[in-house]
Amino acid sequence: MLSRRSPKRSMDSKNNGKWYPVLVMVAVHFVFATINVLLKKVIVDGLNHLVFITYRLTVATIFLAPVAFFFERKSQPKLTYSILFFLFVNAILGASLTQYLFLLGLQYTSATFTCAFLNMVPVITFFISLPFGLESVKIKSNAGKAKVIGTIVCLGGGMLLTLYKGMPLFNHHSHLQLETTTATASIHTQSITRLSSLLATRKARWASGSLSLIAGTVLWSSWFLVQSNIGKRYPFQYSSTAIMMFFGAIQSFALSLSVDRDLSSWILKGKLEVFSILYAGIVGSGFCFVGMSWCVKKRGPVFSAAFSPLVQMIAAVFDIPFLHEPLHLGSLVGSAIVVAGLYILLWGKNKEMQNSGVEKGDPQLQDPEAHPTAVNCGSKDPPTAEC
C-alpha cells in the first residue's frame, strides 16, 4: 500500500536546525558587547591592556583544556605541524594582537565607537574571501548586484564613521567635566590654554584609537577565513580553541614584556578587574570562540561575520546610561548606513545560496510536496521506497 508521508515534521526539524547558528551568534555578540562595556571601565581605571589579554587567554586555556579532553579525547586526528602553524597564526589574528588593538582603540575612543567598527567586519571578510574563492560575485544577477551595492554602502558608512565625528546627541558636559577635573585638578581653575591643550590631546588620542581599530578590524576579518580552513582540517572546536588560546597567552605575555616590564601592573586591583577577566576568559574567549568556530564551520566566514553590528547596538544600550559616553551624530548616521549596506549584502548572499541550492537540486530548497515518499504502512520494518 502506498501512502504519502507528511514532510511537515522533517521540514520543521530542518528549519529549527537552521536557527541554531543564528541564536548562537546573537548570544555570542551579546556577550562581546557586555565585555566591551566592562573593559572600558577597567581600562580607564588603569588596568594594562596586555596584562588583561594575557590573564583572559590564560583563564580561557585553563577552562577549555579539560573540556576538550573530556569531550574530544577519543575522536581527535593527528595534530600536525601545519595545523599548529595555522592555530598560531589564528591566535595572532583573533586573540593576542587583535585584542590589543581593539583595547587600545577602546581606551582612546568609546565603547560605542569601537563596536561601530565591527560593523565593517562582514564587508572586509567578504572582500578578503574573493581571491581565495570562498565568495563569488555574479554581477549580472540580482544577488550579485546586491552584494556589490551592499559592500559599497557599508564602506561609505565606515568612512563616515572614521572621518566624521559630529556633534554629541546627548548632553554629557558633566561627564566631560569629570574627566577634565581628574586630569587637571579643577575645571574651574584651569586656564583657556590648558583647556585647548586638553581638547587637542583628546583629538589626537581619538585619531590614534581610530587607526588601531582599523588595523584590528582587518585582522579580525582575517580570523574568520583562517578559522574556516582550520575547521575543515581539524573540526574540533574545543581543542582548537584551547590551543589557540594557549598560543595567544604566550604571544600577549611576550608582547607585554617587550612593551612594559613593570611587574606591579600584573597585580589586580579590585573585584571588578577580577570579575572582568574571569567573565571575558571563560565566557568571552571560552564559550564564544567555540560557538563562533562552530558557526564558521556550519555556515561559512561571511555568515558568522555578518552579526558583528549587533555588538555596537547592544553596547550602546549599556554604554550611554552606565558609562555616560557621548553618542555623536557621525557614529549614529555612519552605523545606520553600515547596517543598511550590511543587510543588502546579506540579502544578496542569501539569494545566491538559494539559487545555488536549486541548481544543485538541494531538497531543502525545493517543494517537499513535489517529492512524496511511498512507505509500507503494513510492515514493522523501516520505511522503504516501495511496498
CA distance 224 to 179: 38
Percent of the chain predicted with pLDDT > 70: 72
Which span out of 90-94, 125-129, 153-157, 192-196 was modeled with the highest average pLDDT?
Answer: 90-94
User: What does each C-alpha distance from 54 to 44, 47, 57, 241, 314 come to in angstroms?
Assistant: 18, 12, 5, 15, 26
Backbone angles phi, psi at 374, to 5 degrees: -90, 130
List, for residues 288-341, the tens digit of each pLDDT value. Answer: 988 888 888 887 787 777 777 777 667 766 766 666 666 677 777 877 887 788
Mean pLDDT of 127-138: 78
- What pLDDT is stored for residue 54 in this prediction? 93
Which span out of 109-118, 175-184, 249-258 was modeled with the highest average pLDDT?
Answer: 249-258
| Residue listed under C-alpha cell 607585554 | 256
**215: pLDDT confidence band, cut at 50, 70 and 90?**
very high
CA distance 347 to 353: 10
- What pLDDT is stored for residue 8 in this prediction? 53
**190: pLDDT confidence band, cut at 50, 70 and 90?**
very low
- What pLDDT is stored for residue 244 in this prediction? 94
Percent of the chain predicted with pLDDT > 90: 14
CA 101 remoteness from chain centre? 14
Q: What is the pTM of this model?
A: 0.70
* Mean pLDDT taken over the chain: 75
CB 277 within 8 A of CB 52: yes
- What pLDDT is stored for residue 86 in this prediction? 93
